[in-house]
A and B are shown apart, each in its own frame.
Chain A
Amino acid sequence: MAVALVLVLVVVGSVLFHLLSPWWWTPIASNWDYIDHTIIITFWITGVVFAAVVLFMAYCVFRFRHREGNRAAYEPENKRLESWLTIVTAVGVTALLVPGLFVWSRFVNVPSDATEVEVVGQQWQWSFRLPGKDGKLGTSDTSNVSAENPLGVIAADPNGQDDVVVEAADLHLPVGKPVKMLLRSIDVLHDFYVPEFRAKMDMIPGSVTYFWFTPTRTGTFQVLCAELCGQGHPLMNGVVMVDTQEDYVAWLGEQQTFAQLSAPQQTGSADPAAAGTLAPGSKISAKLETVEAR
């Protein structure tokens, strides 16, 4: 009796929790509401199955609990029933899979008008590189990384000279334009993740990964690292600001290009913030020390 009741309560409680939970996804800021819809479909199908199975179980426990003189039925199998259940399950699974694959193909096929933006992860900060006037990113290699060239841009590549380098600072993106995020890392695995954009992808040292999205509303969004990358992992935050076109252009104008950064006369007048980031991760290291000193 009590057991059946508890099983029912588990179902009712779970459903109520789902409906009343204040913990729900953040308001979306990208075109990936398809993903949210797929999750909703999945919630419906799985929720119904969960409730059905557990309630059926509760009924069995209540109805067929042991009482003096009871005897179980003898039923080795029931082919018809089993086939039906298999078919219904297969249909349910297909209903989950098909929309999922459909959205996935959108996710992996980048529209041709997407602008490329490079994100470079390192322990434990984010840097960015945007194509300059030529609209192309120059090539880069981790073995070129040095204090003067923190992203390892290959100087010999003319495409790279006018690239805008944003080192350990906020990234700005224009609203409503698709962007292809090219993801690189110069040390360990990281994962560029903005909860409001829904998309994420690991960054692997030695290769370039990507995902794309279109920001759909302006605002300031926090970047989190979603792949354990050492002890500074939880502190590896960044900021993406989605701007209107005018604000974006204004911001872009203030940024320095690779050529400007690597020109020797510039180093003397470099602002202290930039000097502070020459040793990558030093800020986090300092932070970690304070954490440990607590």
Chain B
Amino acid sequence: MDALLRVHGITRRYGSGCPQCLDNTGAAAGTNRCDACGSVWACRDVSLELRAEEALGIVGESGSGKSTLVKLLHFDDAATSGYVELARMPALEGVDDLYAEGCDWSRDVLSMDRYRQRKARDASMGIVYQHPHLGLRMGVSAGGNVAERLLSAGWRSIAAMRARASELLERTEIPLSRMDEPPRNFSGGMQQRVQIAKALSGDPAILLLDEVTTGLDLSVQARVLDMIRTLREELRLSMLVVSHDLGVINLLCQRTMVMKNGQVVESGLTDQILQDPQHGYTQLLVASQLQ
């Protein structure tokens, strides 16, 4: 399977940084905040490759930097350093000067202007956040939320947008009778399903999932996870799955990266991470799992 996304040494630092930062922060130091200068290294020197049709898990406790990583990849936040490349794919051919002539990989998307970043992102990625209010406008109808995304992708026909929105909402099991209601009227599980519909509206090759089932009741969580598994197979999606829950990672992901204090401490096949964890932190994580 070919790679779709390559991330090289992506880093997000809040604060000015100082010469002692590298020693004072990270998994070995047990903190992401530098005592000397107060800078926080939310995400430090993370590299990864996401392949076509694979689900890569990112697991770690709160503050490990896993959500920051997703935000950086979705340009919700700007990286301090590092670079990101997207593979050549038909959906991205319309983005001006994304690829150098004859190259299979794009130029660094992190250093592009906002306009082209957004264009490249909307043509290749969808995102689902833990908190529905980050991904949805809670006062706008469910159908309108999906249409908004289509509008920014250049759709103009109201009838076509409505048809596409109902198709996506149907796929994510939102009754069409409720399409015109705002998500604030919906349960948590339904809100997540509207977010998924919205994320899929641009036919993304890559889906970013940030703690999408955290905080949902178990039965609701199961339904959302089953839906994600089905969609992944049917739409041949690549997914980056961020979760603190090893059960979710085990269900969805073939490969897993473990983060702590902003750094990747271990990565491997998911069954190997669970059955033969190498790093002390991963061993603690696996041993702490219920059941």
Do A and B make up one complex? no
Write the residues of chain A forming the contact surface with B, with a CB cutoff of 8 angstroms: none
